[in-house]
Amino acid sequence: MTLNTQIASRSFKSCLMNAAGVHCQTSDELDDILNSQAATFVTKTATSHARNGNPEPRYVGHLHGSINSMGLPNLGIDYYLEYLKEIDRSDVFLSVTGLSKEEIYQVLHKVQESSFDGLIELNLSCPNVVGKPQTAYDFDLMDEILAEVFNFVDKPLGVKLPPYFDLVHFDQVAGILNQFPLSFVNSVNSIGNGLWINDQSVAIKPKQGFGGIGGAAIKATALANVHAFYQRLNDSIAIIGTGGVATGRDAFEHILCGASMVQVGTALMTEGPQIFERLDQELSEIMTSYGYHNLKDFRGQLRYIEE
């Protein structure tokens, strides 16, 4: 029995890791993930300079759901590149973005010219920056950005996508993504601009309470996105499944839908890095019960109800 997986010729001892934004902003938090049972880590999404993010309260959650409007608080690309240089590993993910396409190119030029030898996750889906729409909902802009990025980046790079809700949009987005030598697609970021109410008030302060929804509430949407892209993307593009993973069964379902790696957000926030030991154990038990020995035995093998 093994939970081994591979993305862009990097091998991982397991298929479970943190989602960007959760337990990954500081070197101490990243060390915690490295020292846990997690397969690897992804850093908090880095911008060209450090950002404080949005005013607090900006995250409310428990195992079953969360709302956040963090606003990309991070320590800046130089901080993460320095940390990554020190640990010197090629099996880790660096998440990056920019508040404009020019900033995205600037950050990625820096990563390309650095000694970083891991995988780049380009976040095109943050719903929480005031006045900035989610890039990946503007298909022409996403196409333009990827065309420019692949002019100068030759390190393994994937994109973090928002959820889509229409089969026509899956077709259109896959049509764009399939034109590029992407190593992976991470599906999904939070469902943008939900609203939680406590008593008679919004639960979080930024954007009059509007924020990204995560946790169990989004699992069905996440599974649909993972499978829709599994059906449409070139085989060379691996899929990372994110959304609503709190148990080994949830991870199993993401893999059944086509995921090669599974990220944990809300539940990691609630339980801390020891969650990976439990998830590995639960996933292994489910695989044993079905007679599976490795992820390839069932990845993408979701069954349909035929006539």
Cβ atoms of 50 and 78 closer than 8 Å: no
* Site membership for ligand SIN, residue 17 (CB under 6 A): no
Residue 162 has which token pair?
A: 């928002």
* Site membership for ligand SIN, residue 75 (CB under 6 A): no
* Site membership for ligand SIN, residue 119 (CB under 6 A): no
Total binding residues for ligand SIN by CB under 6 A?
13
* Site membership for ligand SIN, residue 242 (CB under 6 A): no
**Which of 45, 66, 135, 183 is in the footprint of ligand SIN by CB under 6 A?**
45
| Length of the chain counted residue by residue | 307
Residue 37 vs 43, nearer CB to ligand SIN? 43
* Catalytic positions: 126
Of 121-129, 137-145, 170-178, 243-251, the segment contacting ligand SIN by CB under 6 A is 121-129
| Cα separation, 18 vs 42, whole angstroms | 7
- Residue 173: exposure state from Cβ atoms within 10 A (0-12, 13-18, ≥19): buried
Q: Tokens 């393994």 map to which residue?
A: 156
Q: Whole-number minimum distance, CB 286 to ligand SIN, in Å?
A: 29
Q: Whole-number minimum distance, CB 20 to ligand SIN, in Å?
A: 7
* Site membership for ligand SIN, residue 135 (CB under 6 A): no
Measured in degrees and rounded to the nearest 5, phi and psi for residue 261 equal: -140, 150
Opening angle at CA 47, ends 186 and 111, nearest 5: 75
| Beta carbons within 8 Å of 214's beta carbon, 6+ residues apart | 61, 65, 66, 67, 68, 190, 191, 243, 244, 265, 266
* Site membership for ligand SIN, residue 162 (CB under 6 A): no
Q: Whole-number minimum distance, CB 193 to ligand SIN, in Å?
A: 11
* Site membership for ligand SIN, residue 123 (CB under 6 A): yes
Given the rule CB under 6 A, which residues bind ligand SIN? 21, 45, 70-72, 123, 125-128, 189-190, 212
